[in-house]
Chains A and B, each alone.
Chain A
Amino acid sequence: MHFIDPHIHMSARTTDDYEALAAAGVVAVIEPAFWLGQPRTSVGSFQDYYASLVGWERFRAAQFGICHYCTIGLNSKEANDDALAEQVMELLPLFAAKDGVVAIGEIGFDDQTPAEEKYFRAQLELAKRVELPVMIHTPHRDKQAGTLRSMAICLEHGLRPDQVIVDHNNEETVQAVLDQGFWAAFTLYPKTKMGSERMVEVVRRYGQQRIIVDSSADWGVSDPLAVPKTARLMLARGIDSAQVTATCYGNALAAYGQSGQFNEADWLSPTAIDQRQLFEGNSVLRGQQPLIS
């Protein structure tokens, strides 16, 4: 069974993780632009970060047989630095149309401040102009209200619900998100938010339609194998394999495939792994024998 992890911050992960993902059947990953655990203080830091998402990280993933895509956006936390956010907004179009960018995201609310709303709206307009779907980060605090508000703002800007993936859902938000026709993604954290056990029950209750599973693995305590592990648990608990495939592969493909840049052919007829290759003169290897498939 093939899997897609449509929300995983691979820049923060090791090559061991890439090997484990490939071994577990993950064929493609989407790395949303987000924050780095501490606020950036200059626009150049954003520029180099976005450049690495479309450059080095994409290359690094391919060296381990994984197709890497990303989303470009200004995250809600850092939207609160208004002067810097203005400069980042000027930068975003330079990356939003590059190869491998499959959405604008992750954007939305953190503390639900006026500044967050301003840059959320500005980025929805950018998404329309660049013709990309949107990945919404729903807030950890006041989640229910923040989720409803995020969807209302998307509709106000003329986006269709099926162009928007609402992420970090829980049992409290899922019904409203599905009722309004948005994609409902679930981040499976080992301890907080959703766990695999709860995810099984969500799929049992709501079925497969427009539900997407992801790991959101990053530099914090998280599990990059959350998608394949949850898929296995679903199967063990008697969930139909078509539903497992939809929630752990097919729905992400349909949602982000709207970008025109997220195609099954990329991983079903892949270019061979060749670890002799270099990116701007640099290798992922440290003297090891290059793997060539």
Chain B
Amino acid sequence: MIKKQLFIFISLFLSLTFSLLAQPELSPERKIAVDSLALEKVKDLSKYISMIGDKKTPFSEANRAVDRAMELFMEGSQMGVSAVGRKEIKYYGVRKYLERLMALNYQKVKIDWFNIQYISDLQRQPDGKYVGVITIYQKFEGVTKEGMKYVDTTKKDITVYVERKKTQVNGREIGYWDVMLGDIRVSETKRG
């Protein structure tokens, strides 16, 4: 029995070790390219969120933007939502968050993300994936039918997962970096 457990442990250890060794080491140039790729994905999300929130975006286009934004996330990722004067931070599944954003009860909505940067560099994990955290500032402006304006700025942290994968395209194998966004957590909210 002990022999069997030892065998399983050694097998798992070896397979994990080989798996790690199989992942390519990133040269500084390559690391810059991958960092930049992950940042671009966050910028893409920023544009989708802006589109989805904008009341001028046609419904069909907003729905399509929700689907495209969802493709950026890992399954089960959550989005934190805060408000000025409310201590509690609510977490929604990303799709639910985007659908709520689309249906916000404002006459006009403007969302801008700025200062998008890494606060935690991409680090290689034991499973071979690279994980980092990118922070963004989101400025939200909502104007009601009555002309009342609500403005807040929220600092949010986005966990980013990057994994090296291979696929076949027209019969040949190519290597690519799969960037997936994880939870988006609110770290600070202030008026204006």
Q: Do the two shown chains form a genuine complex with each other?
A: no
B interface list, Cβ under 8 A from A: none
A interface list, Cβ under 8 A from B: none
